[in-house]
Amino acid sequence: MFLAALCLLIMGVNVWVLIDHLLTIDIPPALLYTMKIRIMHYLFNVMMTWGIILEKLRICSMPALFQTLHDTLLIKRSYNVEVTQLCFGEIPVRLFQPKAASSGLRRGMIFYHGGSGIIGSLECYHSFCSLLTKKTDSVILAVGYRKLPAYPHPYGIQDCIAASIHFLKDPKAYGVDPSRVVLCGDSMGGTAVAVILQNVLGRPDLPRIRAQILIYPVLQLVNLQLPSHLQNHNVPFITRNLLLNCLCRYLNIDSSWKDALLTGAFIPPDIWMKYKKFVGSDNIPEKFRKNIQQPEFPGPFNKAAYLEAKHFLDVGISPLVADDEVIAQLPEALLVSMNRDIFRDDTLLYKKRLEEQGVLVTWYNLEDGFHGCILLFHKILSFPCTWSIINAIVSFTKGI
């Protein structure tokens, strides 16, 4: 009897997730292999839902379940490169080095993975870093920062900063030319790239970073009503609902403040007047905001919401709002955005800021790309957009 009830429960939850997926998720025609995306996003939601259920039952946390399944199910390959497990203090890192001998020091890359502080790990990005090492003939250091459930912000970014400084103080020890170090990250890893660059600027004890590579990065949490948020709020794999849930978890905000975050009610009028020129929707090119009914933003100021979420306005979380003097010192950039991604406009705004301050930018905006696709390049899980990103990174890196 218990077994039958359990089976019914499992089937009921899975069917409910399927119905919700079919009723709410929008997969635009521009995204290729729509059925494959639907199946993958459904499975993603099933894992997320069961994680939440088990969390409420106090069996295990949602992040712990998701991380375990994610690391177990993803294919892991080393692509004939040398991989070394290290620890910088208590921070686990993974060093990827070409096996072929080199006549001199190689270019180096520090890589920060995405995952909203909930998923993502050295394990699930192992194949990607290995492939990138082989194709670019570079040394790659991947940083395994702390995540939820035990470590909300700022533990993760603190680990990334500490590991980066440790590496940059003696890159030659790892066979890396100090003048050719690139910082690279996807999604929240892109946030880490921007934040770390601003933290190490002008330090005489560290080499100057040669370039930055940001793949569909998250660069500001001030304006969540940008055109890309309105256009793509139900497009896989980051929907508006998932975004708000992740933000509340990772930044330790009570979920009752979701509406205030979404409407910008936590932003004081004087701060908005300062930041509007950086993150206002008017900064997005017209072709990316056609047929969008832009709501009034920000909403009426709520002081209680500000006291709860004022750290969203800090450059440590929203590096896009740094002063012009800081942005002007940043290195050459490769920026990759997905046209049907909720975070597309973060990249467009960053591109605008960099170019206005004279920083050289190479930009790719993929029509067939979706958030999180960078890991999907294995056989039946492969997508053309993933290889477009990989090829762009390889071409850019080889030019360093």
Spans of all domains in the chain? 2-72, 79-400
pLDDT score of 72 more than 80:
no
Peptide bond between residue 319 and the one before it cis (omega within 30 degrees of 0) = no
CB 232 within 8 A of CB 242: no
What's the confidence (pLDDT) of residue 393? 97
| Mean pLDDT of the region 165-185 | 97
- What stretch of H or E contains 366? strand 361-366
Tell me if residue 70 is catalytic: no
pLDDT score of 390 more than 90:
yes
304 class by beta-carbon count within 10 Å (0-12 exposed, 13-18 middle, 19+ buried): exposed
pLDDT score of 391 more than 80:
yes
pLDDT interval class at 269 (50, 70, 90): very high
316 class by beta-carbon count within 10 Å (0-12 exposed, 13-18 middle, 19+ buried): middle
CB 33 within 8 A of CB 383: yes
- In angstroms, the CA 115 to CA 138 distance is 24
**CA end-to-end span of the chain, whole Å?**
65
Tell me if residue 371 is catalytic: yes
**CA proximity to 212, closest of 199, 227, 197:** 197
Return the higher-pLDDT residue of 16 and 107: 107
**Architecture of 79-400 per CATH?**
3-Layer(aba) Sandwich (3.40)
**Other beta carbons less than 10 A from residue 216's beta carbon:** 28
- The DSSP annotation for 25-40 comes to ----TTSSSHHHHHHH
3-state secondary structure of 134: helix
pLDDT score of 213 more than 80:
yes
What's the confidence (pLDDT) of residue 287? 92
What's the confidence (pLDDT) of residue 100? 87
* Tokens of residue 331, six digits: 């290195």
Q: Averaging pLDDT over each range in 36-40, 66-70, 323-327, which range is the top one?
A: 323-327
- In angstroms, the CA 230 to CA 370 distance is 16
pTM (2 decimals)? 0.95
Mean pLDDT of the chain: 93
Give the rounded percent of residues in the chain with a pLDDT score beyond 90: 75
**CA proximity to 226, closest of 89, 343, 359:** 343
Give 282-289's long-range contacts (Cβ < 8 A, gap of 24+): 283/348, 283/349, 283/352, 284/226, 284/227, 284/228, 284/345, 284/348, 284/349, 285/348, 288/227, 288/228, 288/344, 288/345, 288/348, 289/227
Give me the catalytic one of 159, 177, 341, 368: 341
What's the confidence (pLDDT) of residue 294? 85
What's the confidence (pLDDT) of residue 118? 86
pLDDT score of 240 more than 80:
yes
pLDDT score of 226 more than 90:
yes
Q: What is the DSSP letter of 320?
A: G
Find residue 211's DSSP bridge partners: 182, 332
pLDDT interval class at 395 (50, 70, 90): very high
CA distances from 152 to 174, 246, 252 (A): 31, 11, 7
pLDDT score of 279 more than 80:
yes
pLDDT score of 4 more than 80:
no
Give me the catalytic one of 127, 164, 187, 228: 187
| Mean pLDDT of the region 98-113 | 93
What's the confidence (pLDDT) of residue 120? 87
Q: Sheet of 332-338: strands edge to edge?
A: 81-88, 91-98, 139-143, 106-112, 176-186, 211-215, 332-338, 361-366
| Mean pLDDT of the region 167-184 | 97
Q: Please write the tens of the pLDDT for every residue from 316-373.
A: 999 999 999 999 999 999 999 999 999 999 999 999 999 999 999 999 999 999 999 9
CA atoms within 13 A on the CB side of 208: 6
pLDDT score of 377 more than 90:
no
